[in-house]
Chain A
């Protein structure tokens, strides 16, 4: 699908550091390939809708009566409006200001959140290529702060196959400490150590992401194709299928009109 994509971005601005400014556009680097399903009522295939339900009133609540509350204790909330949330949202970034250049290897991949590509805008091609090249050769990455969709993220600028990628990072406080999950110290004997070492060496390969396709997604798509062919689709009913009583005046006017049509 990549080739169908217009090369226009979700954000445009400049990368800047010291005296360099490179005009760029930001585009998505991944499109999640999930196959999504609608939920249907099994007796007549009506598509189902989600509604907000108030268990106290045992009634559906219309959207205009729904507000946000932050739970501060059992049954206690602070209410927050959309306007209030907006007032504390950071302003849109115009620039990606690189604060530091760091060793790429220093960033634990557990911090990587979401990847994007940067593409050079008019006049930025040369500086862009240069930056991508230098980052690639030196295994360095730029660290910057960046606001996207009303959230400020620490981001990493790295080189990827001759282009620049921007990866939003998780904040430190979002990362669950590994100390909670690493096992308590245990002595391994020399034989065990060397077994693990040689196993790893034997299985050493180059990373080729093309080798790993989303097999479940493909199997779902194959299943759907097979069902389309063998079983065919089901159809949701029209709302209120029962032969209807329209308004009496309308029915009478239509009867009269029909009588005249048939006389013609």
Chain B
């Protein structure tokens, strides 16, 4: 085992196994993963800040076993910021807050390729800052069908004076986020709203959309998973890596781009790898900036 000592903002970190290839069929080492997160830190950190991190760790790489960890590990460095959150059983859980570069690199060093966070901040666990339409295609439906659904959603929301923002899930689907950023929002509101939208989509596009989780409805359709709008659920963070055969990223796409790429009919164009995610972010800035900033009110609730 090899170790390398680095110092970030005066904090010392011992990085292990930097040469280990964690995406063996593509070729992407731990060093490259940490370099990706270092370069993307200005873009990803605002979206992780003050939110309870769920680790998804792949110590043996994407082909090996992984494990979920919601608790902040006891062996964390003293400078990692934490919060106490209420668990389902009423007890308290200490969670990590990824608020700075050194914590992001420490998390990456634990081979937590995927960074999942809740829709609410740890200090205000009942207040979602945004709502989410999680578009999950059921075979043989794919990401192009998701793009169609996302573009309809955008128009539907636009008629209600609501702006939405799309990103790839980094797996097979797309996510549409609607910023709210109002202290009075509750998960009951966001769930009621997204469920009503999902059902009206299902009613109008029965061959394309389902609002039901049961497998028999999902085949060949895009499942609008509105149930993600829940205090106990997490979403893959924008700009997080995914643990697939290649280092795909959950990457924002401007609506115009999504329309163009979907129009080309090539699903591969809608899967974004690390190099492309970096160049997009550095060129376009954070297309998800408004998700944390725009204040919008849900109508008729």
How far is it, in angstroms, between the C-alpha of A262 and the C-alpha of B76 when the chains are bound? Answer: 53
Interchain Cβ contacts within 8 Å, total number: 103
Report the minimum CB–CB distance from A257 to chain B (whole Å): 4
Beta-carbon contact of A51 and B76 below 8 Å: no
Cβ of A246 < 8 Å from any Cβ of B? yes
Produce 1/0 per residue, B171-203, CB < 8 A to A. Answer: 000000000000000000001110111011000
Contact call A238/B227, Cβ cutoff below 8 A: yes
Q: Is A223 an interface residue (CB 8 A)?
A: no
Is A257 a contact of B156 with CB atoms below 8 Å? yes
User: Closest residue to A61 on the B side, CB-wise?
Assistant: B90
A2 to chain B, nearest CB (A): 9
A8 within 8 A of B: yes
Interface positions of B from 34 to 71, Cβ below 8 Å from A: 57, 59
Residues of B within 8 A of A249 (CB): 300
B283-301 contacts to A, CB under 8 A, are 299-301
Contact status B90-A52, CB under 8 Å: yes
Instruction: Of the listed stretches B104-112, B123-131, B250-258, name the one at the interface; the rest are far from the partner chain.
Output: B104-112
What residue of chain B has the Cβ atom nearest to residue A251's Cβ?
A: B196
Interface magnitude class on chain A: 35 or more
Question: Contact mask B215-247 → A, CB, 8 Å, 1/0?
Answer: 000000000011100100000000000000000
Alpha-carbon distance between A227 and B191 when the two chains are bound, in angstroms: 33
Known: A1-B59, A4-B110. A261 touches B152 (CB 8 A): yes
Contacts of B14 in A (CB 8 A): 6-7
- Docked Cα-Cα span, A206 to B121, in Å, equals 53
Q: At the interface, yes or no: A27 with Cβ under 8 Å from chain B?
A: yes
Residue B78 lies at the interface, judged by CB distance under 8 Å to chain A: yes
Residues of A within 8 A of B212 (CB): 241
A166 to B: closest C-beta gap in Å: 15
How distant is B18 from chain A, measured CB to nearest CB, in Å? 12
| Residues of chain A lying within 8 A (CB to CB) of residue B74 | 10, 28
Chain A 224-252, CB-CB to B under 8 Å as 1, else 0, gives 00000000000101110101101101111
B95 to chain A, nearest CB (A): 16
Q: How many Å from the CB of A32 to the closest CB on chain B? A: 11
Report the Cα distance A127→B227, complex, angstroms.
58
Q: With A and B bound together, what is the CA distance between A47 and B88 in angstroms?
A: 10
A51 partner residues in chain B, CB cutoff 8 A: 90
Q: Are B16 and A3 in contact (CB under 8 A)?
A: yes
Smallest Cβ distance from A53 to chain B, in angstroms?
A: 12
| Residue B264 interfacial (CB < 8 Å) | no
Say whether B159 contacts A260, CB under 8 Å. yes
Task: Give B78 Cβ to nearest chain A Cβ, in Å.
Answer: 7
Tell me, yes or no, whether B269 is within 8 Å of chain A by CB. no
B89 within 8 Å of A by Cβ? Answer: yes
B1 in the interface, Cβ–Cβ < 8 Å? yes
Asked whether any CB of chain B lies closer than 8 Å to the CB of A258, the reply is: yes
Query: Is the C-beta of B207 less than 8 angstroms from some C-beta in chain A?
Result: no
* Chain B residues near A9 (CB-CB < 8 A): 75, 78
B197 touches A254 (CB 8 A): yes
Say whether A5 faces chain B, with CB atoms less than 8 Å apart.
yes
Q: Does B17 belong to the interface (CB within 8 Å)? A: yes
The answer, yes or no, to whether B77 is at the interface (CB within 8 Å) is yes
Q: Is B282 interfacial (CB-CB < 8 Å)?
A: no
Contacts of B9 in A (CB 8 A): none
B88, A49: Cβ atoms under 8 Å? yes
Are A258 and B199 closer than 8 Å at their CB atoms? Answer: no
Does B213 have its Cβ within 8 Å of any Cβ on chain A? Answer: yes
Contact, CB under 8 Å: A254 / B225: no
What's the nearest-Cβ distance from chain B to residue A215, in Å?
18
Query: Once the chains bind, are B159 and A8 in contact (CB under 8 Å)?
Result: no
By beta carbon, the residue of chain B nearest A252 is B300
From known contacts A238-B227, A247-B300, A250-B193, infer whether A50 and B109 are also in contact, taking CB-CB under 8 Å: no
Q: Are A258 and B200 in contact (CB under 8 A)?
A: yes
CB of B76 within 8 A of CB of A8, answer yes
* CB under 8 Å from chain B, chain A span 131-186: none
| Residues in B whose Cβ lies below 8 Å from that of A1 | 59
Give every chain B residue within 8 A of A241 (Cβ-Cβ).
Answer: 212-214
Q: How far is the CA of A261 from the CA of B158 in the complex (A)?
A: 9
Enumerate chain B residues within 8 angstroms of A4, measured Cβ to Cβ. 16-17, 57, 59, 109-111
Is B160 in the interface zone, CB < 8 Å from A?
yes
Q: Determine the residue in chain A with the shortest Cβ distance to B153.
A: A261
* B110 touching A49, Cβ below 8 Å: no
Closest to A236 in B: B213
> Separation in Å of the B194 CB from the closest CB of chain A?
10
Q: Given the interface contacts A238-B213, A246-B199, A264-B155, does A253 sit within 8 Å of B16 by beta carbon?
A: no
Query: What are 25 contact pairs spanning A and B, CB under 8 A?
Result: A3-B17, A4-B17, A4-B109, A6-B13, A6-B75, A6-B77, A7-B14, A50-B89, A239-B227, A244-B192, A244-B195, A246-B192, A246-B193, A246-B196, A247-B301, A249-B300, A250-B192, A250-B193, A251-B200, A252-B300, A254-B160, A255-B200, A257-B159, A260-B159, A264-B155
In the complex, given contacts A238-B213, A257-B159, what are 5 additional A-B residue pairs having Cβ atoms less than 8 angstroms apart? A4-B16, A4-B59, A6-B76, A239-B191, A257-B160
Which positions in B face A, CB cutoff 8 Å?
1, 13-14, 16-17, 57, 59, 74-78, 86, 88-90, 106, 109-111, 152, 155-156, 159-160, 191-193, 195-197, 199-200, 204, 211-214, 225-227, 230, 299-301
